[in-house]
Structure 1
Amino acid sequence: MDRLLEFAQQNPLLSIAFVGLTLALVVTEVMRLFRGFKGVTPAQLTDLINRDNALVVDLRAQAEFEKGHIIGAKHLLPSQVDPAGKLLAKAKESPVVLVCAAGVTAAGTAQQLVKAGFKQVSVLDGGIGAWTAAGLPLAKGKA
């Protein structure tokens, strides 16, 4: 412990950076616990599709969707997501998994669905990139 204090005194900038990064990680993980939706891996998504008939909504641009999407996925742009709309309203109690390019864009849309009362909202961690990296198949063209 004495050596740790000595290091901190001799390297104040490194010590401050370490404390800042540690706090940022803690805050991020706490926020993750309370965000209302969960992240799923490609394997978990495959299980949700096969076992629970999850609704997969791809949020990427139409051209990207047509180049390759998860089989059975529906396409919506984030601006088109309407929790009361025809596609989503019937899935309020069912698993809904949002997919984007890297798993970042989908988080905002997931928050929107959680606030609208959806019970089983997930985001594909790593997005379509993680899906293809796992060697899973894609469908081409329009849904």
Structure 2
Amino acid sequence: MEFLQQNWYWAALAAASGAWLLFDLARSQGDKSQLSPVEATLLINREDAQLIDVREQGEFAGGHIPNARHIPLAELERRSGELEKFKDRPIILCCATGNRSAAALATLKKAGFEKIFNLRGGLAEWEKAGQPLSRKRK
């Protein structure tokens, strides 16, 4: 008890960070369209999910998830017809951090796609999870 009295600010910080983690966990449980890198890998392997990278050409060339199809966000609405053949399969959208791919998810939902997911945290989280990147041109 004496330790807590002398270090109350550390205890308060630990409690606040724990509460934030619980809040974030509860928030992410409600949104099933957000996938972690592990969940994305399972979906790719188990259900042959198609991966769409919506970053710009230079970013894509610098490294992308193996077998990802490249369609920049600015071109997605115009090129969504290219994805019609994947409508019965899950589609995972990715970008650098997950923000552009979230916008892409909304675009494809409007176009009638139902099995669409966003790679939470984008390629930053993918790399942090130790997943592979490819620099091959498609």
Q: Same fold (TM over 0.5)?
A: yes
Tell me what 2:119 maps to.
124
The 5 A counterparts of 1:1-143 are: 38-82=33-77, 85-143=80-138
For the residue of structure 2 that corresponds to 1:97, the secondary structure is strand
Report the alpha carbon displacement of residue 94 of structure 1 after superposing the two structures with TM.
1.3
Matched letter for residue 117 of structure 1: G
Scaled by the length of structure 2, the TM-score of the pair is 0.74
Contact 1:67 1:141 in 2 (8 A): no
User: Mind listing any 5+ residue stretches in structure 1 that lack a counterpart?
Assistant: 1-24
Give, in whole Å, the separation in 2 of the partners of 1:113 and 1:122. Answer: 10
Matched letter for residue 64 of structure 1: E
Scaled by the length of structure 1, the TM-score of the pair is 0.71
Q: CA deviation digits over 1:70-128, x for unaligned, max 9? A: 11001011121137744211112210000000001111110111121111110000000
User: Mind listing any 5+ residue stretches in structure 2 that lack a counterpart?
Assistant: 1-22
Question: Runs (4+) of structure 1 moved beyond 3 Å?
Answer: 82-86
Matched letter for residue 74 of structure 2: S
Higher helix share goes to which structure? Answer: 2
Find the structure with the greater CA-based Rg.
1
Fraction of identical pairs, as percent:
35
Q: How many residues align?
A: 115
Contact 1:83 1:113 in 2 (8 A): no
Report the alpha carbon displacement of residue 141 of structure 1 after superposing the two structures with TM.
3.0
For the residue of structure 2 that corresponds to 1:93, the secondary structure is coil
Contact 1:82 1:88 in 2 (8 A): no
For the aligned residues, what is the CA RMSD? 2.5
